[in-house]
Structure 1
Amino acid sequence: MTVKNVAIVTGAAQGMGYEVFHALAARGYVTIGIDIQKEKLQKVKEIVEQDNVAVEIFGADVSDSTRVNEIIDQVYKTYGSIDVLVNAAGVLSQGEVTTLSDEDWERTFAVNTTGVFHISRAVCNRMKENQQGAVVTISSNAASVPRTSMSAYCASKAASLMFTKCLGLEMASYGIRCNIVSPGATDTEMQRAFWNEEADIEKGIKGIPEQYRVGIPLQKIANTSDITEAVLFLLSENARHITMNNIVVDGGATLGAQ
């Protein structure tokens, strides 16, 4: 049996991953959510299922290739197809290069870069069998603009961005499109963890000269729905001739320097 419109979303327990997971399910996809936060993911599943949609969840660390391969094999065996992949799992470690620990550096790359590689490799091997599919990796505007105290995050997101473009080039002959969405400051749990007070939000919008941040020309931070809409566009038939592209959703914060 082959089921059409099967989607996999990593990082589905919160933030952008949750929004995309919910949005795809609402649009009729059989949506599979993957996240290391098992209890939180279960609560998300219960919320989304209230809309009478088809969802399934797996607790997993995307840096564990064996577990990733097991999940993708199981999904493909069950549904006979994987049509969409959204790489939304991510972590953010802050600290200047001279004080950043090995553990923070390695964990950041393990999730933000190696995790994208693991899940994309496993899914694209299945997509190739059906000669179609769409992949979107959520990177960051920090992938192409240096940030103080964010070297690991910036470098890992830059690597996942270029990896996805290379993947798109290799997969093009199979009808598989691979694109990137790069958010700027967005109102998520991850972002709020680094804000001590509401004034920090205003500083980010106006700019922080001592950190070489120019601020956000549109004078607001993004909502997760802003990012989700860009992801949905790239997954849709409206973007059927777009691949290896990067849509930056940052209110102009990087001045188009992508």
Structure 2
Amino acid sequence: MTQQVALVTGVAGAVGTEIARGLGRLGIAIAAVDRHETRLREKAEKLTADEVTVRAFPADIGRPGPVQSVVAKIEDELGEIDFLVNASCAQRPGDVAEYRHEDWMETFEVGATSVFLLSQAVTGRMVRRRRGSVVTVTAGAAALPRAGMAACCAATAAAAMFTRSLGLEVAGYGVRCNVVAPGSLDTVAAGVPGAAPAGTLLGRPGSFRLGIPLGRTAHPTDIAELVCFLLSSKGSYINLQTIGVDGGAALGAIA
């Protein structure tokens, strides 16, 4: 049987790395895609050392030409893409009054435009083959307004609704599309120095933000395990869903 192939974006980051690791442990070949070439290659080397079949494909995923080229290259070198995981993100926090146009554009290019371009390129091939599955990793901010995070909220909301709408168009061809919406990440596990602010766990009444009922932030593996489940045969009847992985921070109001 031909080895299945997953295109995973954002592998230069902690969540994308753990998704690639989890899928790799299931025997899936990983096409790791990210615009940050040096970090991407470093992560690919570490994954290879952990016996994951992975190849790095640096690409500017916010632009049509590079996306079309990298998708074609992956299928030429690894085989037909069975799974797409959109896990890239660009968080540029800041209040709207002082927010820079270039930060807005960067947030949308990475968090929404790349999802459109990659999903369009990959699902076109999946539709012809009448099989495949897509998972887009967004954030709890896609469903809940956050002070100082308007751009992130808007970009992830766009990516989430796009993915589910795309799912309606391709479901008749046996292609599933779902969304995973993580909450706050464990800062150490995510490679960010310092502990999570107390307000993340306990809430910030002044900014109308609830805390996390489970009393801890998410480890990247918490997100990766759900992505792996959704792409597996065990998740074969789950479609057009947004599933929160946030320890209860949104009180179940993610979808």
TM exceeds 0.5? yes
Q: Pick which of 46-55 and 93-102 moved more.
A: 46-55
Q: Does 1:217 align with 2:213?
A: yes
Match of 1:237 among 233, 247, 250: 233
- How much does 1:36 deviate? 1.2
Q: Which residue in 2 is equivalent to 1:205?
A: 201
1:226 aligned counterpart, secondary structure: helix
Q: TM-score, normalised by structure 1?
A: 0.94
Q: Deviations over 1:74-114 (max 9, x none)?
A: 12233441101100011001111111011111110111000
Contact 1:141 1:182 in 2 (8 A): yes
Contact 1:96 1:150 in 2 (8 A): yes
Contact 1:32 1:56 in 2 (8 A): yes
Residues in 2 aligned to 1:159 and 1:60: alpha-carbon distance in whole angstroms = 22
Residues in 1 aligned to 2:99 and 2:228: alpha-carbon distance in whole angstroms = 36
Q: Which residue in 2 is equivalent to 1:155?
A: 154
Aligned residues: 254
Contact 1:35 1:58 in 2 (8 A): yes
Cα distance change, pair 189–172 in 1 and its aligned pair in 2 (3 A): farther
Q: Does 1:169 align with 2:168?
A: yes
5+ residue gaps, structure 1: none
Residues in 1 aligned to 2:2 and 2:12: alpha-carbon distance in whole angstroms = 24
Cα distance change, pair 160–104 in 1 and its aligned pair in 2 (3 A): same
5+ residue gaps, structure 2: none
1:180 aligned counterpart, secondary structure: strand
Identity of aligned residues (%): 40
Give me the CA root mean square deviation.
1.7
Q: TM-score, normalised by structure 2?
A: 0.95
Q: Deviations over 1:167-217 (max 9, x none)?
A: 111110110000000000012579775x8x53x432210111111111001
Residues in 1 aligned to 2:31 and 2:66: alpha-carbon distance in whole angstroms = 15
Counting only pairs closer than 5 Å after superposition, residues 1-258 of structure 1 correspond to structure 2 as 3-188=2-187, 197-198=194-195, 200-258=196-254
Letter paired with 1:169: L
1:86 aligned counterpart, secondary structure: strand
- How much does 1:57 deviate? 0.9
Letter paired with 2:159: S
1:98 aligned counterpart, secondary structure: helix
Q: Which runs of 4+ in 1 moved over 4 A?
A: 188-193
Letter paired with 2:219: N
Residues in 1 aligned to 2:190 and 2:27: alpha-carbon distance in whole angstroms = 30
Cα distance change, pair 6–76 in 1 and its aligned pair in 2 (3 A): same
Contact 1:92 1:190 in 2 (8 A): no
